[in-house]
Structure 1
Amino acid sequence: MHDIKAIRDNPEAFDRAIARRGVAPQAQALIDLDKTRRAAQTEFDELQGRRNSLSREIGVAKGRKDEARAAELMAEVATLKDRLAALEAEQKEAEAALTDALSRIPNLPADEVPDGLDESFNVEQRQHGAPKTYSFKPKEHFDIGEGLGYMDFAAGVKLAGARFTVVKSQLARLSRALGQFMLDLHTTEFGYTEMQPPLLVNDATAYGTGQLPKFGEDLFRTTAGYWLIPTAEVPLTNLARDLIIDEAELPWRMTALTPCFRSEAGAAGRDTRGMIRQHQFDKVELVSIVTADKSVEEHERMTEASETVLKRLGLPFRTMLLCAGDMGGAARKTYDLEVWLPGQNQYREISSCSNCWDWQARRMNARSRAAGEKQTRFVHTLNGSGVAVGRALIAVMENYQNEDGSIAVPDALAPYMGGLKTIEKVSK
């Protein structure tokens, strides 16, 4: 959510900034809505003051037994009552229209974010590890998984439909190990508190982080009106909603391993084979709630935490700074981590770490207050994948594959695998 006062103060700068996101000019339309709202509010306040004054005069007239004057004043009060009701409705309508318009506009990109409207304009920041050279042609994860008999796409379609998969046996254990490894890393080395949030949320929660009203088609909704979470960012960030947090308590750092559910609207024809793009997947999420002066530093720290997961797993990756047009709507600045997949012979996104500044906080009315101060200020919110478990599973399968179709277990996962060092097909 944007600050209408900031838009009024510098409409040209606002329009220039949203143009970098591919959005047409909005400032004048927003200012016009605000003028309507403010005019209705001003007249309402003036007439309310007049009605209060008349009420006092009525009391004086009655005290003097001047019934004629009291009746005259009461008639004016009745007229004002009707006008006040109309103004109140007008003000509420204008307020709702302004809020709705503001809520649909994406966050303004930070100055250092590169221009561009798609991923071709993203800028590599650093690269870690070199892709491995194989003495054989590396396979993609779905061929490896089906070859082992531990990845059943047909069963997923049978049980649910397209973009669902049944993972079995040793591969299911490897997936579980990845999630546990990530949680342990983030809680013990980076100070995140492990959480278990609801997987279903209400409208206010989905609105708070920016999924509603604009991106409802990307979500699944139950017949009872709940939304299935697309990421644990949604419930975790909303824990700060409608709070005034003592700044001595900040930062809040939270992590959760949850299933995530996405409709993948608009993804028809993309990654139709395998587990790259699923309706249901597990992900370890990182969320930080900080004061405004700490968010830039926290963004780098969060990105480092996600990078450390890939480093410990021995996976080659690169860190990309997303251009203005490729970021999610809530983000002011985003780093994507892209892991190397030898079967595809390309890097694929496995984590996004975003600084949202106060954009989500304004929607949630999430504020903080320093000790001894009366004034509050909006917190800054950050979120990142730490990382997507399904895509980490794919990356491990492809990077640690052997020519015979087996998969070596990364050393970092050894404590979670019960002594299993190689995932291989077990004869029945």
Structure 2
Amino acid sequence: MDREYILRLLRAQINVNGHIIGAAVGSGMTAKFAAMGGADLLLALSAGKYRIMGRSSFASYFCYGNSNEQVMEMGQRELFPIIKDTPIVFGLMANDPSLHLYEHLKAIKEAGFSGIVNFPTMALIDGQFREALEEEGNTYKQEVEAIHLARYLDLFTIAFVTTEEETRQMIEAGADVICVNLGLTKGGFLGPKRHLSIEDARRMTDKIYALCNEMNPDIIKMIYAGPANTPIDMQYMYQNTECQGYIGGSTFDRIPTERAIYNTMKAFKSYGDFDRNNPMTRLLDGDWNARTTVEFVQKYVEEHYMDEVILGDLALVAHVSPSYLSTRFKKETGASFTEYLIRYRVNKAKNLLKEKQNRCREVAENVGYKDYAQFSKIFKKYVGLSPKEYQRMALEEENQYKHKKSE
């Protein structure tokens, strides 16, 4: 798709729907379903590839691989074969020292990408590290130059900015979209622990959009992620700023994938029991403490007393040693694990023996004892009667109770 067509399409979407949506993707799977869900733009970013690998988006800033090569390969192998009607924008690391910028931009266009976005971007790096990089010639101006050259080649351009000065430079370079990058997306397991508040994001965005309106009122204004990771967050931004669209990365791949895989696995692991107070669920959530671990064992005994129950297996699942679990269990319950399990089984057997139709041998098997002689010996030790004697006594008491009740 050429630049003019993309701009007409995006402005039409803004006029009709009020906003546009871009998805920063790292795989064909994410791209396919983002496009099916209505994404107006797809941004192929190396950060997306690292998110699919279970890493933070900032992994794209390290020397784990060549960002530009990763994006080119992703586009040719994963995106172009399955995405036909949605513009795909190349995430360009303009400060790659081995890059001939103009020639690479021509290769990007020839490969089939509709445009570029400056990512990984120097805008998200600060402090002494930023100063050291700039001393070596790695500057935000390189990204501005990339946008300028891309515009010359008639590529569609999105500029990530974080300050008014960066915005000024990108508008002068001819960027089609100014996207205020609000940092890593909050939420999920890999989300940052510190991030902008939604109100700080609004104030930052307002300043940048005011400059956009002053320099180029027709420029498309968007934001990227940060504290805005839900439709409610974006509703607030749309209502309180001049924002015309949202670009999400983790919002559309990492967080939904984390939740879907995590909850599906928990459903299979816990037989669909999503009770947050269930000890097994709490262990899966990483809530490992002495009391939770003991509750997990008690819950397991409650549900599996009829099967073979091995303390060592439970300790492995709870990520503790058998000796530690045994000690903690006795401290919390006042009984050893073996004593607790025997008493639980004997009490279950007593309830079953009160039913006339239940045979003693069947009761023994139903509470986890394959050897009836062993069951009978243990039962008599704890109850004072053999299973047959207990059943006979229980039935006589039941008959006497019914007789008295009928008189």
TM-score normalised over the length of structure 2: 0.21
Higher relative CO (Cα under 8 Å, sequence separation at least 6) belongs to 1
Which structure is higher in helix share?
A: 2
Q: Choose 1 or 2 for highest CA Rg.
A: 2
Which structure is higher in strand share?
A: 1
TM-score normalised over the length of structure 1: 0.20
